[in-house]
């Protein structure tokens, strides 16, 4: 089993190809998860979950089938109705049918560009988290191998090197996380060990999600520049003389003209469709063995039995910050993934419910894909 070193993490983070970098990050998380499990014992650690979150992020980063996505956005019933209304008011100025208006809107709005902006935000977030947290896991694993004692000098030096303060700049939550993982290593009772692993996972999760807040909000809110697009559409739809007349009449009436209203409605419909597609993409994780987790829905499974009635007071207090119904997963679905408290509620329930699923340690890629990745090639097949 290859155990990533800090040098490995730094080399991967320095990669300039976002697609290959994401694939290497995903594989590295898998290797870090395995190495961490040899120290903390059974139960899914944060890196095991991060493997599949990173793999899912790769779908967005690779921007697969963007053209088809753009066609779906512009062909939706809501947008098509908006196109029909624009056509009604534009037909008197120029000869265009719905397909002509649609092509004009496609060139002007450019939903492909908007989706690429979301892809870029996801890629930056994927790198941001791995470059910091992946490196700290590699350092911690190295400190543990350098010294068998759970609270020996090497482990203490490691934790002391983490920055004081809360995230996004401070690393206090990471310090608490690795202290919890150390406690899991020394726990005499299995239930206590699992609670310490969960505590460590949640501390890392809170640090990660706080750090990711700007990129998550940016990816979900990738927006069109409606005023600029409206001006370009009007200039394309109206001959120069009509464009000037329209502006004069609009000022004289002191109200928007019907074509303005129709274009405004159309652009709102396009933005709503972009938001819907982005939300559906970003709020779905394909887990191993065909399981799909939808972040907008309650976690379907109950918390694992050993993590249902929590005892560890530190863990109880941490869970209570995000989950007031510790006995089940009701209300865990995040209606707004841009909300940190909602994300943490969902993540808390996911960590508790999937804690003992061995599938999280399944390899994310085939041996052939790994060989191609090692050769610097984008692997063939489903990624």
- Give 100-140 as a DSSP string: HHHHHHHHHH-HHHHHHHHHHHHHHHHHHHIIIIIHHHHHH
Residues 38-51 have a mean pLDDT of 96
Picking from 32, 47, 376, 46, the residue whose alpha carbon sits closest to that of residue 202 is 46
The least confident of 145-159, 253-267, 270-284, 295-309 is: 145-159
Residue 154 in domain: yes
**List of residues 6+ apart from 204 with CB closer than 8 A:** 46, 133, 173, 174, 177
Which comes out higher in pLDDT, residue 54 or 247?
54
Q: How confident is the model at residue 382 (pLDDT cuts 50, 70, 90)?
A: confident
Picking from 348, 325, 115, 319, the residue whose alpha carbon sits closest to that of residue 209 is 348
Q: What is the 3-state secondary structure (H, E, C) of 96-109?
A: CCHHHHHHHHHHHH
Q: Rounded distance, CA 343 to CA 205, Å?
A: 10
Residue 337 has pLDDT above 90, yes or no: no
Tens of pLDDT, residue by residue over 47-99, are 999 999 999 999 999 987 787 888 888 889 999 898 888 888 777 766 667 77
Q: Angle between the 226-237 and 98-109 helix axes, to the nearest 10 degrees?
A: 140
DSSP assigned state of 43: S
Q: How confident is the model at residue 251 (pLDDT cuts 50, 70, 90)?
A: low
Can you say whether residue 163 is alpha, beta or left, with left for phi > 0 and alpha for psi between -120 and 50 degrees? Answer: beta
CB neighbourhood size of 223 (10 A): 13
Residues 297-321 have a mean pLDDT of 92
Question: For residue 204, which phi and psi values (nearest 5 degrees)?
Answer: -65, -45
Range of the domain at 355: 6-374
Residue 248 has pLDDT above 80, yes or no: no
Tens of pLDDT, residue by residue over 85-123, are 888 877 776 666 777 777 888 888 888 888 888 899 999
pLDDT at 228: 87
Residue 158 in domain: yes
pLDDT at 244: 58
pLDDT at 307: 93
Residues 256-273 have a mean pLDDT of 87
pLDDT at 246: 62
Cα–Cα distances (Å) from 263 to 5, 103, 212, 218, 269, in that order, read: 55, 14, 35, 25, 10
Residue 221 has pLDDT above 90, yes or no: no
Q: Rounded distance, CA 303 to CA 126, Å?
A: 27
The least confident of 183-197, 269-283, 297-311 is: 269-283
Tens of pLDDT, residue by residue over 117-155, are 889 999 999 999 999 999 999 999 999 886 666 666 778
Residue 23 has pLDDT above 90, yes or no: yes
Q: Bridge-partner residues for 286, per DSSP?
A: 292
Residue 1 in domain: no
**Across all residues in the chain, what is the average pLDDT?**
89
Residue 383 in domain: no
pLDDT at 86: 85
Q: How many domains does the chain have?
A: 1
Picking from 222, 26, 200, 9, the residue whose alpha carbon sits closest to that of residue 126 is 26
Residue 379 in domain: no
Residue 337 in domain: yes
Mean pLDDT highest for which of 155-159, 299-303, 343-347?
343-347
Question: For residue 305, which phi and psi values (nearest 5 degrees)?
Answer: -55, -40
pLDDT at 283: 86
What pTM was estimated for this model as a whole? 0.89
Q: How confident is the model at residue 231 (pLDDT cuts 50, 70, 90)?
A: confident
CB neighbourhood size of 88 (10 A): 12
């Amino acid at each position: 089993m290859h155990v990533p070193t800090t040098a490995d993490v730094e080399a991967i983070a320095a990669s300039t190809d976002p697609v290959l970098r994401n694939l290497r990050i995903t594989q590295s998380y898998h290797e870090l998860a395995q190495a961490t499990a040899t120290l903390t014992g059974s139960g899914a650690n944060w890196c095991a979950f991060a493997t599949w979150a990173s793999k899912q992020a790769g779908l967005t980063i690779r921007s697969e089938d963007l053209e088809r996505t753009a066609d779906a956005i512009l062909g939706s019933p809501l947008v098509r109705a908006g196109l029909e209304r624009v056509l009604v008011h534009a037909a008197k100025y120029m000869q265009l049918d719905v397909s002509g208006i649609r092509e004009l809107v496609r060139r002007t709005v450019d939903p492909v560009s908007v989706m690429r902006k979301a892809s870029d935000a996801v890629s930056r977030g994927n790198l941001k988290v791995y470059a910091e947290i992946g490196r700290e896991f590699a350092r911690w694993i190295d400190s543990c191998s350098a010294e068998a004692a759970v609270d020996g000098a090497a482990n203490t030096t490691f934790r002391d090197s983490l920055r004081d303060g809360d995230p996004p700049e401070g690393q206090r939550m990471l310090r608490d996380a690795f202290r919890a993982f150390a406690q899991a290593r020394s726990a005499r009772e299995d239930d206590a060990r699992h609670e310490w692993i969960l505590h460590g996972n949640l501390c890392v999760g809170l640090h990660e999600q706080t750090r990711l807040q700007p990129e998550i909000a940016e990816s979900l809110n990738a927006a069109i520049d409606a005023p600029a697009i409206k001006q370009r559409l009007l200039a394309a739809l109206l001959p120069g003389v009509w464009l000037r007349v329209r502006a004069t009449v609009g000022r004289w009436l002191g109200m928007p003209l019907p074509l303005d209203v129709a274009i405004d409605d159309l652009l709102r419909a396009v933005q709503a469709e972009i938001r819907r597609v982005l939300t559906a993409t970003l709020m779905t994780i394909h887990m191993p063995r065909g399981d799909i987790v939808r972040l907008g829905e309650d976690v379907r499974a109950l918390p694992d039995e050993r993590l249902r009635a929590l005892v560890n007071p530190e863990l109880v207090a941490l869970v209570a910050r995000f989950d007031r119904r510790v006995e089940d997963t009701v209300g865990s679905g995040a209606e707004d993934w841009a909300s940190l408290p909602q994300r943490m509620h969902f993540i808390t329930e996911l960590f508790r419910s999937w804690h003992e699923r061995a599938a999280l340690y399944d390899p994310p890629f085939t041996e052939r894909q790994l060989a191609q990745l090692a050769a610097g090639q984008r692997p063939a097949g489903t990624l």
